[in-house]
């Protein structure tokens, strides 16, 4: 391929000019310096090529000759953010000096505006800037030649033309003593462990051989340094890119990585800005779960290991290494991450509801370098959002006074502190209500039973008792069906008009009928009747030779009458019949009803007989049989004997 050479003329404004020969095979690389001026010309004459193409690559301006694909001239730092940049100049065949103007019509008064990676064709044009004849007075192979630039400077100053001086090392005609532009480490990439990707200066990494890469001049050599000590080198590829991975792993600790670029002539750039990384391959200590907090429902607060909760998103917290990433696991599955703050603490709340059932929580921490710790000690909890089943109707026991037993639904009791009881799930809590009022809270025992006696008496009147059951997580059941009853602690009136015996009926022997109070009867189990308050219980007692004892009871009928027959025969002799009453609540009378006195006399047979003979004189005492001898001269015979 024929060489397509071009001359770049650069002047500092002090009258001294350098001429640099360039082509697409050996590009001239210069660095822009404000105040310098430059123009293009052919190798064989002083005229400039009419058409060229410019391209922006990062901050650099590439000048590509017609028919070429690679640049012949590269001007570094052309696009450094300063809006005032020079345009390229050249002398046309009419002998006038012109600027290279974009064919797109864009302005170039303050430099070329090209997006990174884009190309723009430019050509000599616009208004002439004065004659160019006599500008090039030196030969092209004399890099220190002088030429008069009075007319050139006057014309160029009108559009602010300037460039930095650089030498083309390796040129057939001119030696290049200018160092390459300062390179940069474009990327430093971690390729190992849990955290991979680009590293910023100040980052930690567990990759002891991170990959460095960047851009440079094709064919140049990039030298890599760690705290000033070279650890390797690599050539820039034809695409202008380079990549380096250390053969020897980096030691634990901090590393300050820089690069320089050396061209084939041996000119070496200044070091790049450093990237500081810390190599850390040691796993951190296992973190800890310190608290799991329930903030939902009736039961709130800390959930201890093996505890229960109805909070499907309990809040967790613990300790770790500042800056580390905490990963939270539920039954071995990761459910979220959070970061340890500067105080060494972390906080987490699940973003999705936990399912009902068992949950084993553990956490690990990943440090800034990507090293992962061992798991923490587990915390086991049970999530339970299902309420207990509806409890059965409560039992109530009347254990006061003479009338005791279970209080029936709709019943009456005189026990103002009955004993309530029931069953349920061991460990659950029973709340006992009287209407809307809480009577008590009881924990169900290990045997599945509970019992409660109110400390304060229930008031006289109606009561509706229900219970709810609450499990340890705070879930509460529906209320039970109610047990409705009345408390009555007021005794009934016991006046004569309320309670009394109205008759005693003799139903045996020759004489039968009513036995008036004070009369004699031969019926040992007479029918006794009377009046009282409907629904009350009547108790009949007799006071005889053996004392006072109960002989029967009856419930007063709706018409206010009652009847009973003694359960056992009365004793012979005087029987004084008395009454007591008790209302359905078990309250006894406060007074006494009138007594009814009868005398029981059992009639004797028609023929008398000796029943017994008894010896009452010492030394022998006792019954005598027929024909025996006795020293008791006071023999007695029962009436009616011979």
Interval 531-571: pLDDT, tens: 888 988 999 999 988 899 999 999 999 988 999 999 999 99
Residue 164 lies in a domain: no
pTM (2 d.p.): 0.47
User: Same domain for 310 and 335?
Assistant: yes
Residue 81 confidence (pLDDT) above 90: no
Residue 619: asked if its preceding bond is cis (omega within 30°), the reply is yes
CATH number of the domain enclosing 273: 2.60.40.10
Q: If 0-12 CB within 10 Å is exposed, 13-18 middle and 19+ buried, where does residue 607 land?
A: exposed
User: Same domain for 54 and 133?
Assistant: yes
**Coil vs helix vs strand at 626:** coil
Contact 337, 347 (CB under 8 A): no
User: Same domain for 83 and 149?
Assistant: yes
Q: What is the pLDDT of residues 264-285, one digit of tens each?
A: 888 999 999 999 999 999 999 9
- The pLDDT confidence band at residue 621, using thresholds 50, 70 and 90, is low
Residue 165 confidence (pLDDT) above 90: no
User: Same domain for 440 and 555?
Assistant: no
Residue 121 confidence (pLDDT) above 70: yes
Q: Residue 633 — left, alpha, or beta (φ > 0 → left; ψ -120 to 50 → alpha)? A: alpha
User: Same domain for 263 and 298?
Assistant: no
Residue 596 confidence (pLDDT) above 70: yes
User: Same domain for 596 and 614?
Assistant: no
- The total number of structural domains in the chain stands at 6
Which of 96 and 83 is assigned the larger pLDDT? Answer: 96
Q: What is the pLDDT of residues 452-462, one digit of tens each?
A: 999 999 999 99
Of 351, 383, 415, the position where a domain reaches its end is 383
Residue 175 lies in a domain: no
User: Same domain for 483 and 433?
Assistant: yes
Count CB atoms within 10 A of the CB of residue 461.
8
Residue 180 lies in a domain: no
Q: Find the range with the poorest average confidence among 9-18, 153-162, 259-268, 415-424.
A: 153-162
Residue 79 lies in a domain: yes
- The pLDDT confidence band at residue 126, using thresholds 50, 70 and 90, is confident
- The CA-atom distances, in angstroms, between 379 and each of 44, 234, 291 are 86, 53, 9
The predicted model gives 619-628 an average pLDDT of 67
Residue 559 lies in a domain: yes
The predicted model gives 425-432 an average pLDDT of 95
Contact 619, 528 (CB under 8 A): no
Q: What is the pLDDT of residues 275-315, one digit of tens each?
A: 999 999 999 999 999 999 999 988 899 999 999 999 999 99
Q: What is the pLDDT of residues 349-393, one digit of tens each?
A: 999 999 999 999 999 999 989 999 999 999 999 999 999 999 999
Of 487, 513, 537, the position where a domain reaches its end is 487
Residue 94 confidence (pLDDT) above 70: yes
User: Same domain for 28 and 120?
Assistant: yes
Residue 170 lies in a domain: no
Residue 485 confidence (pLDDT) above 60: yes
User: Same domain for 275 and 292?
Assistant: no
Residue 399: domain span = 395-487
User: Same domain for 46 and 91?
Assistant: yes
- The CA-atom distances, in angstroms, between 274 and each of 62, 101, 180, 257 are 27, 39, 18, 5
User: Same domain for 571 and 618?
Assistant: no
Looking at 76-214, list the stretches that DSSP marks H as alpha helix, in order from N- to C-terminal side. 150-156
Per-residue pLDDT at 179: 83
CA dist., res. 170 & res. 153, Å (int): 30
Per-residue pLDDT at 172: 39
Residue 561 lies in a domain: yes
User: Same domain for 612 and 593?
Assistant: no
Per-residue pLDDT at 30: 86
**Coil vs helix vs strand at 275:** strand
Of 437, 459, 487, the position where a domain reaches its end is 487
Name the residue among 542, 596, 552 with its Cα closest to residue 572: 542
Residue 74 lies in a domain: yes
CA dist., res. 212 & res. 512, Å (int): 132
């Amino acid at each position: 391929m024929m060489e397509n050479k071009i001359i770049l003329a650069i002047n500092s404004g002090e009258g001294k000019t350098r001429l640099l020969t360039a082509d697409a095979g050996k590009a001239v690389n210069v660095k822009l310096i404000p105040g310098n001026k430059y123009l293009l010309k052919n190798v064989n004459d002083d005229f400039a090529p009419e058409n060229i193409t410019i391209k922006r690559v990062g901050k650099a301006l590439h000048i590509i000759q017609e028919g070429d694909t690679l640049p012949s001239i590269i001007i570094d730092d052309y696009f450094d953010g300063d809006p005032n940049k020079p345009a390229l100049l050249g002398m046309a065949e009419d002998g006038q000096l012109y600027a290279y103007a974009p064919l797109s019509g864009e302005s170039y008064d303050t430099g070329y505006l090209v997006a990174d990676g884009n190309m723009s064709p430019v050509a000599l044009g616009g208004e002439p800037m004065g004659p160019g004849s006599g500008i090039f007075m030196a030969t092209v192979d004399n890099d220190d030649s002088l030429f008069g630039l009075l007319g050139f400077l006057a014309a160029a100053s009108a559009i602010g033309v300037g460039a930095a001086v650089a030498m083309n090392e390796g040129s057939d005609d001119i030696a290049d003593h200018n160092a390459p532009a300062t390179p940069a480490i474009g990327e430093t990439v971690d390729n190992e462990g849990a955290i991979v990707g680009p590293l910023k200066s100040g980052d930690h990494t567990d990759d002891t051989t991170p990959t460095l890469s960047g851009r440079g001049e094709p064919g140049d050599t990039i030298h890599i340094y760690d705290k000033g000590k070279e650890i390797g080198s690599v050539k820039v590829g034809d695409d202008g890119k380079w990549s380096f991975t250390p053969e020897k792993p980096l030691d634990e600790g901090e590393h300050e990585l820089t690069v320089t670029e050396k061209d084939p002539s041996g000119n070496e750039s200044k070091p790049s800005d450093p990237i500081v990384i810390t190599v850390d391959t040691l796993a951190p200590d296992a973190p800890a779960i310190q608290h799991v907090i329930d903030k939902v429902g009736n039961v709130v607060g800390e959930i201890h290991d093996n505890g229960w909760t109805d909070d499907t998103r309990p809040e967790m917290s613990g300790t770790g290494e500042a800056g580390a990433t905490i990963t939270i696991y539920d039954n071995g599955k990761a459910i979220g991450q959070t970061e340890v703050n500067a105080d060494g603490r972390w906080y987490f709340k699940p973003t999705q509801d936990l399912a009902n059932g068992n949950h084993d929580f553990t956490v690990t921490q990943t440090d800034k370098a990507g090293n992962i710790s061992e798991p923490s000690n587990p915390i086991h909890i049970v999530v339970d959002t299902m309420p207990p089943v509806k409890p059965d109707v409560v039992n109530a026991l009347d254990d006061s006074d003479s009338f005791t037993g279970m209080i029936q639904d709709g019943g009456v009791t005189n026990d103002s502190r009955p004993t309530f009881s029931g069953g349920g799930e061991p460990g659950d809590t029973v709340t006992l209500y009287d209407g809307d009022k809480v009577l008590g809270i009881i924990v169900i025992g290990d045997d599945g039973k509970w019992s409660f006696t109110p400390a304060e008496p229930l008031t006289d009147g109606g009561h509706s008792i229900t219970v709810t059951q609450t499990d340890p997580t705070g879930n509460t059941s529906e209320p039970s069906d109610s047990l409705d009853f009345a408390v009555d602690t007021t005794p009934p009136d016991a006046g004569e008009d309320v309670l009394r015996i109205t008759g005693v009926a003799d139903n045996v022997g020759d004489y039968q009928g009513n036995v008036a109070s004070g009369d004699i009867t031969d019926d040992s189990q007479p029918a006794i009747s009377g009046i009282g308050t409907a629904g009350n219980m009547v108790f009949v007692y007799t006071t005889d030779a053996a004392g006072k004892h109960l002989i029967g009871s009856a419930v007063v009928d709706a018409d206010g009458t009652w009847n009973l027959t003694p359960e056992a025969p009365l004793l012979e002799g005087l029987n004084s019949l008395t009454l007591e009453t008790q209302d359905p609540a078990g309250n006894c009378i406060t007074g006494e009803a009138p007594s009814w006195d009868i005398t029981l006399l059992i009639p004797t047979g028609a023929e008398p007989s000796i029943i017994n003979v008894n010896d009452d004189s010492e030394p022998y005492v006792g019954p005598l049989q027929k024909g025996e001898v006795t020293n008791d001269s006071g023999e007695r015979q029962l009436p009616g004997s011979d």
